[in-house]
């Protein structure tokens, strides 16, 4: 796949989620899941994240709320780390997750706090 939207998405995805993570995902792709990697990169990261009407920090905060509500722990942990890269503070992440607890239910909030703490610990361990 070689088009401008895909290339923009690939660059943004690496900036937010980390070059190693994204390149590893593509290297591990096979004939079955490669189309999904391409779809996500082009449309999610290129066509939507590549728009300039919302800053990445805002997009990250929205993603945290939606992934929490959808009970997607793997993606939530990944996007907590990305949110930190996009300038979302831990205090802001806490506030997003409190909002989730009220509007999506306390169990969603509790799980999301646990996952966020795991992500923080992993980020802190990488810095040490």
Question: 48 and 106: one domain?
Answer: no
Instruction: From 20, 22, 29, 92, select the one nearest 57 (Cα to Cα).
Output: 92
Which residue range is the domain that position 128 belongs to? 55-128
**pTM > 0.85: yes or no:** yes
Question: 100 and 45: one domain?
Answer: no
Question: 33 and 78: one domain?
Answer: no
Question: 44 and 70: one domain?
Answer: no
Question: 68 and 128: one domain?
Answer: yes
Q: Find the Cα–Cα–Cα–Cα dihedral 96, 101, 105, 111, rounded to 10°.
A: 90
Residue 75's CB is within 10 A of a number of other CB atoms, namely 17
Question: 87 and 77: one domain?
Answer: yes
**pLDDT tens column, 58-106:** 999 999 999 999 999 999 999 999 999 999 999 999 999 999 999 999 9
Question: 47 and 64: one domain?
Answer: no
Banded model confidence at residue 128, pLDDT cuts 50, 70, 90: confident
**pLDDT tens column, 7-62:** 999 999 999 999 999 999 999 999 999 999 999 999 999 999 999 999 999 999 99
pLDDT for res 49: 97
Specify the number of domains making up the chain: 2
């Amino acid at each position: 796949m070689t088009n401008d939207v895909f290339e923009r998405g690939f660059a943004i995805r690496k900036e937010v989620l980390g070059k190693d993570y994204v390149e590893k995902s593509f290297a591990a792709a096979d004939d079955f899941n490669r189309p999904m990697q391409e779809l996500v990169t082009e449309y999610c990261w290129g066509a939507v994240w590549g728009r300039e009407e919302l800053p990445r920090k805002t997009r990250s905060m929205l993603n945290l709320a939606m992934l929490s509500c959808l009970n997607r722990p793997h993606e939530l942990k990944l996007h907590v780390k990305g949110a930190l890269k996009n300038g979302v503070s831990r205090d802001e992440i806490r506030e997003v997750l409190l909002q989730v607890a009220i509007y999506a239910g306390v169990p969603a909030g509790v799980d999301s706090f646990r996952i966020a703490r795991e992500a923080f610990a992993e980020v802190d361990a990488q810095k040490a």
